[in-house]
């Protein structure tokens, strides 16, 4: 098995976990993303026919727009890569990257909280105890979602699902 096929397997596992969190076709008026399928929103992808979106097309979009450009394949621990990818899709990559940097700081690694996954952050992720860092990342995500609801109370209806996502 080549390194590339291992990376493909890790992305596919992350994608399947993401689909379990995102679900199918949804058009919730309280969701600012508008019409959404597999977590792909009409607002973010106005050129896509969301109602007709296939799983294969969604997988391609997530790989090309999230997994590959953010370098999640560079993270040695598959569980951390999967969690970071999942959070990036839900809250935006920059916010998710700030949270992993905060989690690293909580674990005693002084990295800059700039939302950029650069060499320093990747090296710190790989040097950290994966179980401890994952627990810290989950706590940071939970805190982010709670703060979001405190600032935007109309989003309260999404909190239970967001917290499930944060802590799973």
pLDDT digits (tens, 9 = 90+) for 77-107: 999 999 999 999 999 999 999 999 999 999 9
What are the pLDDT digits (tens) for 4-48?
Answer: 555 578 999 999 999 999 989 999 888 888 899 999 999 999 999
Question: What mean pLDDT, rounded, does the chain reach?
Answer: 93
Cβ-contact 153, 124 below 8 angstroms: no
Enter the pTM of the model.
0.93
What domains can you pick out in the chain, each with its CATH number? 3-167 (1.20.141.10)
Give the other-Cβ count within 10 Å of 150's Cβ. Answer: 11
Helix axes 3-22, 78-91, angle to 10 degrees: 40
Residues of 15-45 as b/e, b for ≥16 C-beta within 10 angstroms?
bebbbeebeeebeeeeeebebbbbbbbbeeb
Please name the helix (run of DSSP H) or strand (run of DSSP E) that holds residue 27, with its range, or none.
Answer: none
Provide, rounded to the nearest whole percent, the portion of the chain with pLDDT above 70.
96
C-alpha distances in Å from residue 162, one per residue of 77, 97, 165: 23, 17, 5
Cβ-contact 24, 31 below 8 angstroms: no
Whether residue 3 has pLDDT greater than 70: no
């Amino acid at each position: 098995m080549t390194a590339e096929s291992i990376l493909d397997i890790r992305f596919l596992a992350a994608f399947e976990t993401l689909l379990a969190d995102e679900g199918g076709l949804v058009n919730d008026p309280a969701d600012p993303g508008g019409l959404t399928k597999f977590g792909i929103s009409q607002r973010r992808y106005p050129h896509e026919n969301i109602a007709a979106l296939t799983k294969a097309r969604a997988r391609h979009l997530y790989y090309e727009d999230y997994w590959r450009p953010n370098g999640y394949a560079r993270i040695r621990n598959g569980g951390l890569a999967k969690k970071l990818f999942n959070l990036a899709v839900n809250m935006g990559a920059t916010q998710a990257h700030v949270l992993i940097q905060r989690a690293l700081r909580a674990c005693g690694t002084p990295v800059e909280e700039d939302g950029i996954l650069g060499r320093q952050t990747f090296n710190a992720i790989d040097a950290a105890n994966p179980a401890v860092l994952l627990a810290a990342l989950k706590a940071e995500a939970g805190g982010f979602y709670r703060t979001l609801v405190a600032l935007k109370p109309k989003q309260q209806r999404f909190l239970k699902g967001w917290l499930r996502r944060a802590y799973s």
